Amino acid sequence: MSTRFGVIGGGSWATAIAKMLSNNSDQVHWWLRHEESVAHVKKFRHNDRYLQSVEFDLNRIHPSSDLEAVVKQSDVLVIAIPSAFVYEVFNGFHVDGLEDKILFSAIKGIVPQYHSIPARFFHKEFDIPYERIGIISGPCHAEEIALERLSYLTLACPDQKIAQMMADALAYRYVKTSTSEDIFGTEISAVMKNIMAIAAGICHGLGYGDNFQAVLISNAIQEIENFVDAVSPVHRDVNSSAYLGDLLVTAYSKFSRNRTFGLMIGKGYSVKAAQLEMSMVAEGYYAVNSIMEMNKKFEVDLPITRAVYHILYEKISPVIEINLLKDKLD
What pLDDT shows up at residue 279? 75
User: Each residue of 231-247: pLDDT tens digit?
Assistant: 999 989 999 999 999 99
What pLDDT shows up at residue 1? 57
Q: What proportion of the chain, given as a percentage, has pLDDT over 90? A: 92
Does the annotation mark 193 as catalytic? yes
What's the rounded Cα separation, in Å, for the pair 186 and 33? 28
Give the list of residues 6+ apart from residue 222 with CB closer than 8 angstroms, or none: none
User: Each residue of 94-111: pLDDT tens digit?
Assistant: 889 889 999 999 998 899
Beta bridge partners of 116: 111
CATH of domain 185-326: 1.10.1040.10
Residue 2: pLDDT over 90: no
Given the residues 193, 267, 296, 297, select the one marked as catalytic. 193
Q: What is the mean pLDDT of residues 75-88?
A: 94
* Maximum C-alpha span of the chain: 60
What pLDDT shows up at residue 9? 97
What pLDDT shows up at residue 280? 75
User: Each residue of 5-23: pLDDT tens digit?
Assistant: 999 999 999 999 999 999 9
5-181 topology per CATH: Rossmann fold (3.40.50)
- pLDDT band per the 50, 70, 90 thresholds, residue 71: very high
What pLDDT shows up at residue 102? 98
The DSSP symbol for 3 reads P
User: Each residue of 255-290: pLDDT tens digit?
Assistant: 999 999 999 999 999 999 999 998 778 999 999 999
What's the rounded Cα separation, in Å, for the pair 77 and 64? 14
Domains of the chain, by residue range, sit at 5-181, 185-326
Give the list of residues 6+ apart from residue 28 with CB closer than 8 angstroms, or none: 5, 6, 7, 18, 21, 22, 60, 61, 62
Region of 108 on the Ramachandran plot (φ > 0 left; ψ -120 to 50 alpha; else beta): left
What's the rounded Cα separation, in Å, for the pair 16 and 153? 12
